[in-house]
Structure 1
């Protein structure tokens, strides 16, 4: 069985086709889906979508692209939801992005740091977006990781050395369909290196459909292609790697938490 640890069913490209997407996922062996909210509007929608199926879980946050929408008032709306709904399994996606500066970096940093503190207080893992900001993100999560904050670097596309630094913080590394692309040789080396107890898989749908579906609208069912690719890359059986990544996702997102 598989867990898609990162998708955006709240996206305009997916939200109107939810029952079919869930059925497709079940047929592909996906047992749980973590639906990632990323701005005030999708935070509301993700909670509504929980009513559709018990296989859905959510993380709530404001991503760097939408950091301009961040206010303490908006952020604090998440706290009571996370405290009272066990299907909220993380804070995110949050992070920093220097490639698409759709929000000013100072606002991204303010948003990221606020949610780091909130996640620590709520005892929830974080889902981190990193693009051309490795050092800035790492510097900010290190003190929190030393205080027990856990999380995942989602859709990892960095170098082997960068992966090692995040792993040293106790963080998980998650791979999307990008790892299946022909030009992702260095990323494939990272996927072979990451320790068994720290590797996760995701779709990041509707984006980044894996080979052989590259260019299509991605969906949670397609996570099995990434599972198959990495299992062959690591020279292990598909079922072994599927169970491994599911166990890892369970240990990060679905362990009992007691928010304060």
Structure 2
């Protein structure tokens, strides 16, 4: 099995103190690479330290909408030199907009999102996008920046088929988490079947969103196997085939995963 977890939060309080054990369990399940997603100024620092501890660990750096209240140009600009020089930093994110949980004012979210979109363009790195109940606002910005060459992924996609088609039309990838394994996610099942082979990714979003049959438990990269098996069945593939497809897509998007470090 050749699995890549394209989105987890080993920087989180629930996971950060058990890194060696978590990584070993992931390896035992066939996980070859893990992308650790930073989401605020504190985890941006921590993620840079964590990537030094394992050859399969990489990171992205950004400020998510929930933490956009902590955004400042000074904090954002700390990302730029690291993104340009550290080859284990493979993307910019988690960034985006969220109107479901307005833990940060929407105007601050927009300011933060747009600044990091420009950093991603300047550093030639893909973006990892958080989008919840903000499709029109996120899509309009992605459309503008994709015309300038920006690439990226909508992480933990839970939108409609029409929304999926919008992002796919801009050459973006869609990533599916354990949510796709839930019984009440029938519309998402259809999206997961529809996405072209060359645009689908999988993730855990751990420590959140454990897939069936592990719902309610703390999620971790090893659990991506369950999501892989579920989507493979939806798409009439063997799990090993879907793992190879999504691993290749991960390395195509996050191109630094292919480079020796």
Please give the range of the TM-score, normalised by the shorter of the 2 chains: over 0.9
Q: Distance in 2 between matches of 1:119 and 1:51?
A: 23
Partner of 1:182: 183
Q: Distance in 2 between matches of 1:34 and 1:256?
A: 9
1:10 paired to 2:11: yes
Q: Secondary structure of 1:225's partner?
A: helix
**Deviation for aligned residue 1:32:** 0.3
The one-character-per-residue Cα deviations of 1:53-110 (angstroms, maximum 9, x if unpaired) are 0100000000000000000000000001011100100000000000000000000000
**TM-score scaled by length of structure 2:** 0.97
Q: Distance in 2 between matches of 1:28 and 1:18?
A: 16
Q: Distance in 2 between matches of 1:28 and 1:84?
A: 31
Partner of 2:245: 244
Q: Secondary structure of 2:128's partner?
A: strand
**Deviation for aligned residue 1:6:** 0.1
Runs of 4+ residues over 2 Å off in structure 1: 254-257
The one-character-per-residue Cα deviations of 1:177-203 (angstroms, maximum 9, x if unpaired) are 000000000000000000000000000
Q: Secondary structure of 1:50's partner?
A: helix
For these two proteins, the number of residue pairs brought into alignment is 257
**Deviation for aligned residue 1:153:** 0.1
The 1:115/1:19 distance shift into structure 2, 3 A limit, reads same
Consecutive unaligned residues in structure 1, runs of 5 or more: none
Q: Secondary structure of 2:97's partner?
A: strand
Q: Distance in 2 between matches of 1:208 and 1:143?
A: 31
- Show the 5 A alignment for 1:52-131: 52-131=53-132
Partner of 2:211: 210
**TM-score scaled by length of structure 1:** 0.98
Partner of 2:166: 165
1:152 paired to 2:153: yes
RMSD: 1.0
Q: Distance in 2 between matches of 1:102 and 1:250?
A: 33
The one-character-per-residue Cα deviations of 1:12-41 (angstroms, maximum 9, x if unpaired) are 000000000000000000000000000000
Q: Distance in 2 between matches of 1:51 and 1:81?
A: 14
Q: Distance in 1 between matches of 2:140 and 2:235?
A: 30
**Deviation for aligned residue 1:238:** 1.1
**Deviation for aligned residue 1:256:** 8.3
- Show the 5 A alignment for 1:34-49: 34-49=35-50
Q: Distance in 1 between matches of 2:92 and 2:257?
A: 15
Partner of 1:30: 31
Is the contact between residue 172 and residue 199 of structure 2 (CA under 8 Å) also seen in structure 1?
Answer: yes
